[in-house]
Structure 1
Amino acid sequence: MQKVVLLILIISLFSLKANAQNSKVLAEVGDIKITTQEFLKRYELTPHANKQKDISNPDMKKDFLLTLIAEKLIAKEALKNKIDTLKEFKSIEDYIKNIYLRDALYFKEVKEKVVIKQSDWEEGKKRISQKLKIKFLFSTSETEINEVYKLLQNGASFDSLLSLRDENNEQLALAEVTFGKMHPDIENEIYKLSGGEFTKPIKLKEGYYICKLYDKTINSDLTDSEKSSIRSVIQTRKEDSLYQEFYSKFFRDIVVNVDTKIFVELAEKIKEQYSKKKESELGKEDERKFLLEKDFFEIINSFSKDELQSIFVKFSSSPISLESFIYFLIMENFDVYNIDISSIRGKLNYIVQNYIQNKLLEREAVKRGYQDLPEIKNDIESWRTFYLSQRYMSLIYKTEDVSSEEALAFYNKTNHTFEKPMQYRISEIYSKDLLKIEAALKELESGKDFGEVASKYHDVDSIKIKNGDIGYISSSENSLYSKTLSSMKEGDYIGPIAYNEGYSIIMLSDSKQESLSSPATYEEAESDIKGILKSKKLYDRLENDVASLASKKGVKINTKELSDLKVTDINVVVFRRYGFGGQMLAVPYTPLFSNWYEVYKKQNIKNPL
């Protein structure tokens, strides 16, 4: 299988290239400017379908730049049409702002304060060179673990005591431990031991441990991977310590209540919504069961206007209405394993608690003015522009219709013979869980069969049992992604793509184009004809609208700078993990849309390039 993407994980604030390369302007359209920094970030971290081409190819870079220009122009039209005033868009905008502002606070309060001393490095180097073989005794009772410890001190056999306990079943073999593999509190104690010695009781969140060292081996020749992991382990542990310190101080004595009556009623409404779903929609008993955007809109419609405006989260300033919270739930992805009222209330309570904490962190970031930090403003604006353009294009697609008269005229004009839309046979791995998509990409990158991975990670059982094969789709059915599919070769896969409230990895299995010819009747051809014309109408309108907008403002592209711009040779897709929790794609994924430029050139005598 041809590999298309390489998975990379990053944590917190992201940087790509030296500032010297970032300051130049690649394109200007009126007041719109696209810098090399913005282009590189979007281009390098977006999955590209055609791995056979070097992504430093000037044509590929130009198509992507034109796509970014179109996205920004369409977003401006969305603003004119007041898309930004819609409640569903405001909820998206608030969600993105919350993530980035919390991340900025985390960077300032945690990540930026990490100091790694030489002594930390030396201790890490010493520990990673040692491999320890251990077993442990465990109890949730402090009294019991102390009694066991006294028995050991009085000469009782560790192995004999362990053989009588439940934890023996999970320790049939010795556990191998090295630096960074266990909780630091346990690690600090077991690295002090000599062979045959045991620790005193060690308290962790889940209970108490006593560990015994059976064997220790030392290897002073460290691999490059082991050396690089030393800094990573130290960094993570110091961040965790600073995080815990900040968290306990920040939330000390803070109490925010919610309206109990509204909470109970909302949980009941969610339960009712689950009860409306078919068994096939819910999936197997041991699988998570999601509510979709349309489900929450039904829940919103089930409340009165007064109920929706009722205060649900009782912050002392700027309290949150029930309606605002439900819109947040749309973004959050609500899921439970069991649809009984107890499970639903438990999950809702968990989400409410996190929501309150995240709002408080966001407000602290705003109080400090982090919303004005250039990188934060740029990242938020990038996502805002993306969502504005996507919402506006979706609106256009819904409003473009094909009448029966138009379809019949097309049928007669083509003499009853025409090519059907291109058919693509695709396989898919779809999940609302970004962690599952991350795991799937890792397995694909390691060379595993796409169907095998799809059968493991796809959220929908009916697709999972088919190894992800969803059959042929028409380019007119998925017109916004047809250009991406058309550039792929059989066996290529691309992803993750944000789709249908989740994420998809798509593999192209086959493509074909068929003709309908006489004596096909109009009734047989009507559906295909309408699909062709609807897709054409959408693209024609978008291409003409974008070209006209560009003509009014004028397009200036720094062709030489674009051609000379250095980009990485490996297609990468980045999941960004954010401070104080949260993970999503590092940059928006926008399907290529560059044909508008040909229309633009026809509208203008001079070619700006």
Structure 2
Amino acid sequence: NAVKQIEQMLVRDELYRTEISQKITITDKEIKTALQRSSNELKVYFLFARTKELADSLYSLIRKGKLLESFSFTQESRNDCSGPDSAIARWGDVDERMENVIYTLKQKETSKPFQLDDGWYIAKVMKRTTTIVAGEREQIVQRQKVETRLRQRKEFSRMSDFMSSALRSTTTDINSRLFKSTIIHLWNIAQQQHPVRTDSTMFFIDKTVITLLHESMGDSLHFPFVTFPHTVWSVETALEKIVGTNLATANPTLNKIRIDVEQRLRDLIDQEYLTQIGYTRGLNQSSSVRKDLKVWRDSYLSQIVKNKIGDTITVSQNEIEELRREFSNDTSLIFDNNKAIARTKEIKTIGTIDRIIGSVANSTEITFYEQNFKDVHVSSTPSMIFRILGFGGRMPAVPFVIPQLGWINYWQNKDIKFP
């Protein structure tokens, strides 16, 4: 099941690669234009109007000679018209539609009304500051930043179009009664965990929360919750998927939790359909997915073998006492017999596995790629590297493996020198 979950994420990521990232091209003209814009920082004044008619009426006054910066609006009318507001515009940080307007304006020039998601705007460039990137290295870095931002924008645009088209005909049933009940129980847990809530309070939906929900919701967690044409999620399954996204609600309220959970659930439902599209196209059989999955399958198989070996290990009282003498500074091993038994068994298991690996190594050809080892920079600081997935989500970049090098002591081939 764990391998299947990894495969599903890899399939969805492969769909993104084949349908989105591989189909993006950036022209020299686009890079040149972006480089020119990125060297200019603009101070912009702008007016906002809720409708095109209001924006046109404001613009007609500007055409008659009224300065944009001289406008003012009453408190009662600010929902319909507001400004002038000011902002510093840097290429890449501003809505691309606004960029395409303001970067074509000269200093002190005013734009015609243009539309964004929340309404209509009229902009005026008050000041333009140009930065010259002189050094060759700095120019290379700047070009890389520009290309990265251009690619991000194009990928997001193409992804939105693809998802809109691919998911248009999908239908999913959500049990609204169970959803409402789950949100209420989550809110109760949030109040228990955080009796006093401030802007810095974060309510995480994690495994501890699911355990508490088992106590309060009982068998309801196993009821059908999200119904797809191809599968059904129980409440618990849906929550486990949400846990995997590390969802947290800031300064939680009942309504905030509902909004956050609902949006995350929508994202997960979209990802489920996209994953199925990937399987329909046979992307689970692609070379890149199979190659990446092999690493995870081998890791899980290795852990299963280690666990089975551990199940065969028994320890004697003499071995436990020997451990206590060796780790005499750890008083918990003296007063907690179960911990002493577990620690002794763990050490004995590691030694057994070392001997098994060493014996296998003696009959296996091993090649040490010294240059590759030198090229890898290993930090002593514990860290976790994540792979960001297409269409949202993330997963560990590689399986977590506990170092186990004791087998080298049982390896008879000493011709290969390890560092």
Question: Which band: TM-score by shorter chain?
Answer: 0.7 to 0.9
Cα distance in 2 for residues equivalent to 1:330 and 1:394: 26
Between 229-238 and 570-579, report the one with greater CA deviation. Answer: 570-579
Q: Which runs of structure 2 are paired with 1:370-519 in the superposition (5 Å)? A: 370-386=283-299, 409-410=321-322, 414=325, 419-421=328-330
Counterpart residue number, 1:287 = 201
Select 1:236's aligned residue among 152, 159, 163: 152
Pick from 327, 338, 345 the counterpart of residue 258 of structure 2: 345
* Structure 2 residue 258 is matched with structure 1 residue 327: no
2:161 is the alignment partner of 1:252: no
Shift of residue 393 of structure 1?
Answer: 7.1
Say whether 1:317 aligns with 2:241.
Answer: no
Q: Deviations over 1:255-287 (max 9, x none)?
A: 3221112222222333344355365xx875532
Is 1:119 equivalent to 2:32 in the alignment?
Answer: no
CA distance in 1, matches of 2:400, 2:173: 38
Alpha carbons of 1:273 and 1:221: their partners in 2 closer, same or farther (altered >3 Å)? closer
Match of 1:586 among 380, 397, 402: 397
Structure 1 residues 163 and 568, CA gap change in structure 2 (3 angstroms): farther
- After TM superposition, give the deviation of residue 569 of structure 1 in Å: 5.8
Displacement of 1:564 after TM fit?
A: 4.3
In structure 2, distance between residues paired with 1:394 and 1:419: 28
Query: Hey, what's the Cα distance between the residues in 2 that align with 1:257 and 1:335?
Result: 25
Instruction: State the identity %.
Output: 21
Q: Which residue of structure 1 aligns with residue 9 of structure 2?
A: 99
**1:196 paired residue among 96, 101, 108:** 108
Equivalent position amino acid for 2:46 in 1? F
CA shift at 1:113, angstroms?
0.7
**Candidates 47, 59, 69, aligned match of 1:149:** 59
Unaligned runs of 5+ in 2: none
**Residue 544 in structure 1 maps to residue 352 in structure 2:** yes
Contact residue 274 and residue 291 of structure 1 kept, 8 A: no
Distance 1:327 1:124 in 2: 43
Per-residue deviation, 1:547: 3.0
Q: Secondary structure at the match of 1:565?
A: helix
CA distance in 2, matches of 1:547, 1:155: 89
Task: For 2:204, give the aligned amino acid.
Answer: F
Compared CA separation, residues 160 and 377, structure 1 to 2 (3 A): same
Aligned letter for 2:224? I
What is the deviation of 1:102?
1.8
- Gapped runs of 5+ residues in structure 1? 1-89, 422-515, 517-523
Trace 1:260-299 onto structure 2 (pairs within 5 A): 260-277=176-193, 279=195, 286-299=200-213
In structure 2, how many angstroms separate the alpha carbons of the residues matched to 1:571 and 1:409?
37
Q: How does 1:132-171 map to 2 (within 5 A)?
A: 132-161=42-71, 171=86
Alpha-carbon distance between aligned partners in 2 of 1:153 and 1:534, rounded to the nearest angstrom: 82
Q: Distance in 1 between matches of 2:242 and 2:16?
A: 24
Q: Is the 8 A contact 2:44 2:126 kept in 1?
A: yes
2:194 & 2:107 partners in 1: Cα distance? 59
TM-aligned CA deviation for residue 249 of structure 1: 1.3
Is the CA contact 1:544–1:596 (under 8 Å) kept in the aligned structure 2?
Answer: no
Residue 210 (structure 1) aligns with? 122
TM, length-normalised to structure 2? 0.79
CA RMSD after TM alignment: 3.9
Aligned length: 403
Q: Deviations over 1:552-571 (max 9, x none)?
A: 68652534x42343642645
Looking at CA atoms only, which structure, 1 or 2, has the larger radius of gyration?
2
Return the offset for 1:93: 4.4
Give the equivalent residue in structure 1 for 2:343.
Answer: 535
Would you say 1:226 and 2:136 are equivalent positions?
no
State the Cα distance separating 1:246 from its structure 2 match: 1.1
Question: Once the two structures are superposed, what CA deviation does each residue of 1:548-590 show, in whole Å capped at 9, x if it has no partner?
Answer: 366368652534x423436426458754322111234422343
- CA deviation profile, 1:416-439 (whole Å, cap 9, x unmatched): x96425xxxxxxxxxxxxxxxxxx
Q: Is the 8 A contact 1:134 1:211 kept in 2?
A: yes
How far apart, in 1, do the equivalents of 2:166 and 2:118 lie? 24
Structure 1 length as normaliser, TM-score?
0.57
**Which amino acid is 2:148 matched to?**
S
Matches within 5 A, 1:349-360: 349-360=262-273
C-alpha change, 1:226 and 1:381, in structure 2 (3 Å) is: same
Alignment CA distance shift 1:136-1:575 (3 Å): farther
Q: Label 1:374 to 1:557 Cα distance change in 2 as closer, same or farther (>3 A).
A: same
Aligned partner of 1:595 in structure 2 is 406
State the structure with bigger RCO (CA 8 A, min sep 6), 1 or 2: 1
State the shift of 1:185 in Å: 0.8
Taking the aligned partners of 1:278 and 1:393, their CA distance within structure 2 comes to 41
Inter-partner Cα distance in structure 1 for 2:286 and 2:184: 42
